[in-house]
Structures are given as structure tokens and as C-alpha cells.
Amino acid sequence: MAIFKGAGVAIVTPMKENGEVNYEKLGELLEFQIANGTDAVIICGTTGESSTLTHEEHLDVIQYAIEKVAKRIPVIAGTGSNCTETAVYLSQEAEKRGADALLLVTPYYNKATQKGLIRHYTTIANSVKLPIILYNVPSRTGCNIEPATAVYLAKHVENIVAIKEASGNIAQVAKLMSLAKGCIDLYSGEDGQVVPALSLGGIGVISVLSNIAPRETHDMVSLYLEGKVKESCEMQLRAIPLVDALFCEVNPIPVKTALNLMGMGAGAMRGPLCEMEEAHVEQLKKAMTDFGIKLPKEA
């Protein structure tokens, strides 16, 4: 059975002015997502600035989300690392705290060969019982999970059940699904390629866009899965300018800025990420208002 079908939000981690995690605002964002039809929460992923959270913060944020969501929708914990031992530790701790599944990004900086990826993921998966989503985002990690590798892992490791594909290479996604023959669930990791991924057999998206447009992102997927392909495609195309604005600077700078513009108090980014360039802020504002997102007048 799939971990979830539909739109999962790769949720931000709100910060206070002093740089501490703002749990009150995180709680508000989680409630906003659930109220607007989001099908799953992905906590402490790339968008959640996991790379600049301490291990203690990382696990505390995961636990807070699990307790706040209280089984209303699945909570998927980002527990990947470029160190296998660290990923094992975070994964085991997330399991103890009650996560429903894990999202494991490919090793970054030191990277890995395909043989190394198989060993890395197999070791982590064997240390827990939770279902696992592989996360392929070579633009950030410099490490690509080749289709044959993903299929090998899905066939040989029982709890590796899905992949978040954010390579941006739709031909690679097609090859993956051709080789898989249904052995692995596919989630789009690209908000601009949700419908293309669904057309290849995908069952949902793990989305940055959902942070600010949860209902629309949910509906885009649900319409497709209901067979209303034309309507879903229209929503995808309408969202493209906003998706472009959300990625005009490195994620999560634009999406946190967007949430702040909406008055939702996401706060600042931790260094080395910094505030958005003013020209890009104006681009983002226009894309948001054109999409129908209402902004407070002071924004």
C-alpha cells in the first residue's frame, strides 16, 4: 500500500528572529496544511533546512510534527545524510518517535557510486521497519540514483517502496517507470512536472508549492487521479509562473519569503542562506497575486 497518494508538503521550518526554531508558527503551518487538504507532511527535508539543524533540533522538529499532526495524515521524516551512520541514527530515532515513513536524500558532497548507493540505502533500510522513500535530487547533491539502481533497491529491500524524483529529467523518470513495472511508487519532486510524472504512473508530489497553495496542489493531483486529465493539466500550466518564482533563488529562500509575505511568520533562513533579492521579491509578489493568493496590503 502506498504511503500516501496526492500532494505532500515539503514543509518549511519557521525560525524566530534569534534563529531558534519557532514551534508555535510550525504548529500553525501544519494546521493550515491539514485544513487545506494536504495529504502528507514531509518534515525536515531540504525545504525544512535540515542541513543547518543540529541533530537534537532535527529530531525535536520531527517529534513536534508527529505530535501536532496526531495521525490525521502521514508524517514523513527526512532523515538522510551523506554519512550512512548518521542516517541510520536519525532514521532509528524518527521511528522511535512515531514517524510514518522516511525520506532519504542521496549522499551529498562526498557523493557515492551506484554500488555505494545500494550499500548506503540497504544499510539504513535494514536498521528500521518504516517504509522508505528514496530522494533523488542531483542538482543539490551531485549524486544521481540511476533508474536501474532504484529498481534494484525496490526489488531487493522490502521497505524501500517509493522514490521522490527531482532530477528534472523526465526521460530518466520514464526509463525508471519502464524498468520498474510497478515495483516502486513515484512521487514528483518537481512542482513544474507534476502532471508529466503522474502521466508516467506517479501517484503524487512532494511539493514546495504546497506550502503556499496547498489546496490547489492537492486538487491538481486528485483531479488527475480521478481521470480529469484536462483540468489537472490546466492547473499545472497555470501554476508554472508561480513555480518559476519559487525557484528563482535557491529553495527555501523564495518559499519562506512567500509565507512571510502572506503574514504566516516563517521567519528568516539560517546561514549561508540569506534574504531574497528585491527584484526577485517583486517577481514573487506578482506571481502570487496572479495565481490568486491574497497578500496583506503592507506586503
* pLDDT at residue 298 in the model: 61
What proportion of the chain, given as a percentage, has pLDDT over 90? Answer: 98
Q: pLDDT at residue 299 above 90?
A: no
* pLDDT at residue 70 in the model: 98
Q: pLDDT at residue 297 above 80?
A: no
CATH class of 6-228: alpha beta
Mean pLDDT of 57-78: 98
Residue 121 annotated as catalytic: no
Q: Cα-atom radius of gyration of the chain, to the nearest Å?
A: 18
Rounded Cα distance, 64 and 256, in Å: 20
Catalytic residue selected from 164, 187, 224, 256:
164
pLDDT digits (tens, 9 = 90+) for 213-271: 999 999 999 999 999 999 999 999 999 999 999 999 999 999 999 999 999 999 999 99
Mean pLDDT of 203-221: 98
Domain chopping of the chain, boundaries: 6-228
pTM value?
0.96
Mean pLDDT of 179-199: 98
Catalytic residue selected from 121, 135, 152, 224:
135
Residue 135 annotated as catalytic: yes
